[in-house]
């Protein structure tokens, strides 16, 4: 297994964050269900989205890739005849499970050891209420589903993952009579649902939201040529690096896109960094940082890097509202707190987030990220405020969402070397 050491550095430069992983997943599935050809530009081709491409091909879509462009000939889908491996991609697992409920033959979806620990219960319960036969390992993958899915009115718990709701939404236009989906309890990561319905409409669906109720007509999908926007959650790493270590400009972002993670700009400003947004570019400069209280419920992917941002902020910060972090690629509350403390910070976990008492500097050290790409990249950024180096195994895990992360960060001044 490869190893890497990050040594901080003076941050100064401009970078273009990678395309959005969540948008790429959705575009691939939508294009696969649409009858005809869609051309998807600026796709993020990472381990997770390649798992989605494999899943789309397994149900009969033709997907060809040239550079960052995917050409998808969709429609005329059928049930995969062998188990489909979602690898480490929770998005692939959850969306594809819903889509396979369209078929009247059993389909099995599995994944790696990490994915087999991630809950599927709320989605399976909702599918069963629509007439789908479901089997699982006590609510965990691997799962087997057999339709047909009759659609109609369905309720689903919204407190664990918005991906369950996205799965039902994306499937609904393909069902006779459409669906009325009611989300019970809290609705975590709600901005992702806005992304889902926005993209569904681009591909010809009739999907509306009224509070916690989504209404989707039985329209099917039509082909659409789509350009994947830059990813705000990935832009957070160079922008936080700028706030901690100098200055950074991230370009290519679309401020009109409904990505919830664009809140990183507000969080940086709230913490005291100098923030300037001009068109599709944002520049962040170092300044004295102060403690914050931030509701992370709709932006859980930002949790680790925001914790790093506040690790040396003056005062006591509280990140709250995101119990779903317990069920990500790792228990992200536990791994984030451990990362901060292993580097010499002062953090403790809570049921839905953490408390961070800012220290003047971190000391550095070794970080165990458990294969979680966001922990790995956050620890790299933390090296900017460490007196010593930050070392870790398996830097390749960053390729899940940010291929070429060490090289991209080196261009703005973050020093690293193979160990």
Count other Cβ atoms within 10 Å, centred on residue 312: 19
Looking at the fold, whether 209 and 249 belong to one and the same domain comes out as: no
Domain total for the chain? 2
* pLDDT (0 to 100) of residue 257: 86
pLDDT confidence of residue 256: 86
Tens of pLDDT, residue by residue over 274-287, are 999 999 999 999 99
Q: Are 296 and 320 in contact (CB under 8 A)?
A: yes
239/147 same-domain check? no
Higher pLDDT pick, 161 / 136: 136
Q: Of the candidates 257, 124, 267, 272, which has an alpha carbon nearest to the alpha carbon of residue 192?
A: 257
| 182-206 tens-digit pLDDT | 999 888 888 999 999 999 999 999 9
Q: How far apart are CA 123 and CA 399, in angstroms?
A: 28
Q: Which residues pair with 70 in a beta bridge?
A: 40, 65
Give the closest residue to 300 by CA, choosing from 243, 273, 260. Answer: 260
Residue where a domain terminates, one of 189, 205, 227: 227
- Going from the C-alpha of 227 to that of each of 13, 188, 419, the distances in angstroms are 26, 27, 38
- pLDDT tens-digit series, residues 406-417: 999 999 999 999
Residue 127 scores a pLDDT above 90? yes
What is the pLDDT averaged over residues 317-337?
A: 91
Is residue 267's pLDDT more than 80?
A: yes
* CA dist 216 → 102, 160, 291 (Å): 15, 22, 42
- pLDDT, average across residues 94-120: 97
Domain match, 195 and 252 both:
no
Place of tokens 């979806």: 109
Confidence at residue 85, expressed as pLDDT on a 0 to 100 scale: 99
In terms of domains, do 311 and 212 share one? no
Classify burial at 153, counting beta carbons within 10 Å of its beta carbon; exposed 0-12, middle 13-18, buried 19 or more: exposed
Tell me the mean pLDDT in the region 52-80: 98
Is the same domain home to 198 and 256? no
User: Tens of pLDDT along 358-376?
Assistant: 999 999 999 999 999 999 9
In this prediction, residue 419 has a pLDDT band, given cuts at 50, 70 and 90, of: confident
**Amino acid 188: pLDDT:** 83
Are 219 and 314 within one domain? Answer: no
Looking at the structure, do residues 60 and 114 belong to the same domain, yes or no?
yes
301 and 217, same structural domain?
Answer: no
What is the per-residue pLDDT across 378-403, written as a single tens digit (0 to 9) for each? 999 999 999 999 999 999 999 989 99
Question: What pLDDT was estimated at residue 44?
Answer: 97
pLDDT recorded at residue 29: 99
Residues 219, 236: one domain?
no
Mean pLDDT score, 57-65: 99
Active site members = 301
Q: 369 preceded by cis ω (within 30°)?
A: no
Mean pLDDT of the chain: 96
pLDDT for the residue 254 = 86
**What dihedral angle (degrees, nearest 10) is formed by the CA atoms of 71, 74, 79, 82?**
-10
CA proximity to 313, closest of 345, 271, 267, 270: 271
pLDDT in tens, 156-181: 999 889 999 999 999 999 999 889 99
Mean pLDDT score, 67-93: 97
Structural domain that includes position 341? 3-18+230-418
Average pLDDT over residues 97-102: 98
pLDDT digits (tens, 9 = 90+) for 226-244: 999 999 999 999 999 999 9
Bridge partners (DSSP) listed for residue 84: 109
> Is pLDDT above 80 for 1?
no
Same domain, 122 and 215: yes
| Percent of the chain surpassing pLDDT 90 | 93
Which CATH number is 184's domain given? Answer: 3.65.10.10
Does residue 311 share a domain with residue 206? no
* Domain termination site, one of 195, 227, 259: 227
- Please say which residue of 199, 227, 255 terminates a domain: 227
**Residue 52 · residue 22 · CB < 8 Å:** no
Tell me the C-alpha distance between 419 and 417, whole Å: 6
Helix 21-33 and helix 190-202: axis angle, to 10°?
Answer: 40
Question: 121 and 149 share a domain?
Answer: yes
């Amino acid at each position: 297994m490869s190893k890497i050491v990050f040594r901080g550095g003076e941050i100064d430069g401009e970078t273009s964050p990678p395309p959005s992983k969540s948008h790429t997943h959705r575009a691939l599935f939508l294009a696969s269900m649409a009858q005809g050809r869609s051309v998807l530009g600026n796709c993020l081709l990472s381990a997770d989205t390649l798992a989605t491409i494999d899943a789309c091909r397994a149900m009969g879509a033709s997907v060809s890739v040239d550079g960052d462009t995917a050409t998808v000939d969709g429609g005329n889908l059928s049930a995969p005849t062998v188990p489909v491996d979602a690898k480490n991609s929770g998005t692939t697992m959850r969306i594809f499970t819903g889509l396979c409920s369209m078929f009247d033959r059993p389909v099995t979806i599995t994944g790696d050891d990490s994915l087999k620990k991630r809950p599927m219960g709320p989605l399976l319960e909702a599918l069963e209420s629509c007439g789908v036969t479901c089997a699982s390992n006590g609510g965990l993958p691997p799962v087997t589903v057999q339709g047909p899915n009759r659609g109609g009115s369905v309720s689903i718990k919204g407190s664990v993952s918005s991906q369950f709701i996205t799965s039902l939404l994306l499937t609904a236009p393909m069902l006779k009579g459409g669906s009325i989906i009611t989300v019970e309890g809290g609705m975590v990561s709600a901005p992702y649902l806005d992304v889902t319905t926005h993209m569904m409409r681009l591909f010809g669906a009739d999907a509306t939201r009224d509070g916690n109720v989504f209404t989707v007509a039985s329209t099917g999908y039509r082909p659409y040529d789509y350009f994947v926007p830059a990813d705000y959650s990935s832009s957070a790493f160079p922008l936080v690096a700028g706030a901690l270590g100098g200055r950074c400009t991230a370009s290519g972002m679309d401020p009109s896109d409904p990505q919830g993670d664009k809140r990183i700009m507000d969080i940086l400003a709230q913490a005291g960094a100098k923030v300037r947004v001009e068109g599709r570019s944002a520049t962040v400069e170092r300044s004295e940082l102060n403690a914050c209280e931030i509701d992370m419920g709709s932006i859980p992917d930002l949790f680790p890097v925001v914790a790093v941002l506040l690790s040396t902020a003056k005062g006591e910060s509280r990140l709250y509202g995101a119990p779903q972090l317990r069920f990500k690629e790792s228990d992200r509350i536990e791994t984030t707190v451990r990362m901060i403390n292993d580097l010499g910070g002062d953090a403790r976990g809570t049921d839905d987030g953490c408390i961070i008492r800012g220290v003047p500097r971190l000391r550095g050290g070794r970080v165990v990220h458990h294969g979680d790409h966001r922990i790995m990249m956050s620890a790299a950024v933390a090296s900017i405020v460490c007196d010593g180096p930050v070392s870790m195994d398996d830097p390749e895990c960053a390729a899940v969402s940010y291929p070429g992360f060490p090289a991209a960060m080196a261009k703005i001044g973050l020093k690293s070397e193979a160990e």
